[in-house]
C-alpha cells in the first residue's frame, strides 16, 4: 500500500462533560457569546464556544505545552 501524507485521523468521538460555573463566569460567557455574534453575525451557543475557547487557552499556555512535551518525551 502506498504511504499517504495524511496520517490516520485521531479519535474524534466527543466526550460530554457537565460543569458548574459561578454566576460571574456565566455572565462573562453570555457576554462573550454576544460579542461573538456581533463580530461574526452568527449566533453560537455557549456550549459550542467553550471547547474552542479551551483549546485556544491550552494552546497559548507555554508552560503547559512544555510540561506536556516533557512528559511525552520521557
All three cell numbers of 47: 456550549
All three cell numbers of 32: 462573550
Provide the whole-model pTM. Answer: 0.74
* 4-60 tens-digit pLDDT: 888 888 899 999 999 999 999 999 999 999 999 999 999 999 999 999 999 999 999
Domain ranges of the chain: 23-73
Print burial letters for 31-52: b (CB count within 10 Å at least 16), e (below 16): eebeebeeeeeeeeeeeeebee
Amino acid at each position: 500500500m502506498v504511504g499517504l501524507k495524511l496520517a490516520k485521523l485521531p479519535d474524534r468521538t466527543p466526550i460530554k462533560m457537565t460543569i458548574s460555573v459561578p454566576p460571574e463566569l456565566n455572565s462573562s460567557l453570555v457576554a462573550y457569546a454576544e460579542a461573538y455574534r456581533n463580530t461574526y453575525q452568527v449566533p453560537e451557543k455557549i456550549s459550542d464556544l467553550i471547547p474552542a475557547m479551551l483549546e485556544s487557552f491550552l494552546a497559548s499556555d507555554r508552560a503547559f505545552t512544555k510540561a506536556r512535551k516533557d512528559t511525552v518525551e520521557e
